[in-house]
Structures are given as C-alpha cells and as structure tokens.
C-alpha cells in the first residue's frame, strides 16, 4: 500500500522515508548496491575533480566520491535528503534535475541514477547531463526500461520483496524508452552504451540471512528491466 494515500511517484514519499537512506538493511537497501555499482565505472578524480550527482537523495554516492577523490555536489529537491548528504560530506544544492543551477561544463563526472524513470521528460534530464559535463567527462546513469517485463518485475514483484523499492515509489508509465534515450544521447554529443543489471542472487540470499553487508549488481544480457548507461561527452 502506498503510504498516506500518496500517488505513485510522489516525491513526498522520499521525505517520509528519510530515515531509510543510510540503513543498509532498510527500504533503500538496493540504492546502496546501485551506488557501489556506479562507482565501479567512475575513474579516479583529476586534480580538483567534480562529480555532480543528480537526484542525489540522501547522498549515497558520498563515500564512493570521496574514495575516488571528487568534490561531490548533490542536486535534489528534498531537503531531508540533502541534509543527510551534507552530513556525509556532500555539497548539497537544492534544485530540479530539469534545470540544474550549475554552470555549463562544470563536472568531470555526472551521475544520474534512479531518476530518469521518475520524470516526465527523461531526455531533458539527459540534456542537463550533457550541458554539465566537460568534454571527455564521464556519464553514469541507471534506470528502468519501458517494457511489460519491467512492469512485472520492478513493480509487482520487487515492491513485495525485502530490499526492493518501497511500494508506490515508481510509476511504470514513466519507465524509459531505451531507443529514444540512445538517439537523444547521440544528438547531445554523448557516446552512451547500455548494459542490463540485476542483483546477484547468491549475494541477495546471503544479505537477507545477515551474512553480507551488501549485494553486488551484475551485468546481464538484456536491458529490458534495469539498465545502466556508461558514456563520455564528445
């Protein structure tokens, strides 16, 4: 059941779940796994390197950005999440991912994780990623594909299992058209490749039994459910 009668994909849900952000066994457990997976595709920071984290939530990329040597700038609309991110070393900036209040070419890395399937215009978010990146900069995204299979797995099933998304956090009508995304990326000067992802089933069982602190995200041969995108700005 969706909390307090809120509609699917209502951003207010994140404010109500703020205590879950940094609980590895909590309602946002999978987002910890995604953050670690994103970090695997981010290079070590150059001197003064900046990582811009769109829809940063509670700042779960913070320890990874620090380890890689980046100044971590988080963009989000939710104040509770931004304050949590600040407490973990992130520089919080309140703003929309559709109109980020930062200068063109300011970022060595842009991360847009778990946001494209939450907005009405995912291409506009991708355009902001391209605007923020310097030439040669790194883009890391992940999202849910606009397929019937994703509707079944990411909503009907995942919302019912431990570590999965809180009920109502996704609206499947906003899931991402991969072909449109790739075409837009090319027009925006982004070389982008998509890779399917899933949690390691062995890790997930061990995590559930308390034998692992986290679960590895593994590549799979299909992008029809969860996918990541790794790219560079030309």
CATH of the domain at 92: 3.40.50.150
Average pLDDT, the chain: 92
The pLDDT of residue 74: 98
Mean pLDDT in residue range 166-177: 86
pTM over 0.85: yes
pLDDT at 38 > cutoff 80: yes
Per the structure, the count of domains in the chain is 1
**91, 90, 82, 129: which is closest to 110 by C-alpha?**
129
**131, 107, 148, 141: which is closest to 188 by C-alpha?**
131
- Split at pLDDT 50, 70, 90, the class of 4 is low
pLDDT at 225 > cutoff 50: yes
The span from the CA of 38 to the CA of 229, in Å, is: 10
Tokens of 50: 């900046």
The pLDDT of residue 141: 98
Domain that holds residue 115: 3-233
The DSSP string of 182-222 is HHHHHHTTEEEEEEEEEE-HHHHHHHHTTS-S---EEEES-
Tokens of 150: 């994703």
64-112 per-position pLDDT tens digit: 999 999 999 999 999 999 999 999 999 999 999 999 999 999 999 999 9
Strands (E), 44-189: 50-54, 71-76, 91-94, 107-113, 133-144
């Amino acid at each position: 059941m969706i909390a307090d009668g809120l509609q699917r994909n209502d951003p207010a849900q994140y404010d109500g779940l703020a205590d879950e952000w940094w609980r590895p066994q909590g309602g946002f457990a999978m987002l910890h796994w995604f953050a670690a997976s994103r970090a695997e595709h981010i290079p070590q920071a150059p001197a003064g390197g900046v990582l811009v984290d769109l829809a940063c939530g509670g700042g779960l990329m913070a320890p990874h950005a620090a380890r890689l040597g980046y100044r971590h700038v988080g963009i989000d609309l939710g104040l509770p999440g931004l304050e949590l991110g600040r407490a973990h070393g992130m520089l919080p900036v309140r703003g929309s991912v559709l109109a980020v209040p930062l200068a063109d070419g300011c970022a060595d890395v842009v991360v847009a994780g778990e946001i494209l399937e939450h907005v009405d215009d995912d291409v506009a978010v991708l355009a902001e990623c391209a605007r923020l990146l310097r030439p040669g900069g790194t883009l890391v995204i992940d999202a849910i594909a606009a397929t019937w299979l994703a509707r079944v797995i990411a909503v009907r099933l995942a919302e019912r299992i431990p570590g999965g998304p809180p009920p109502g956090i996704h609206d499947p009508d906003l899931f991402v058209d991969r072909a449109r995304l790739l075409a837009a990326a090319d027009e925006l000067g982004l070389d982008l490749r998509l890779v399917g992802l899933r949690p390691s089933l062995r890790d997930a069982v061990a995590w559930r039994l308390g034998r692992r602190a986290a679960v590895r995200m593994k590549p799979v041969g299909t992008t029809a459910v969860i996918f990541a995108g790794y790219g560079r700005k030309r």
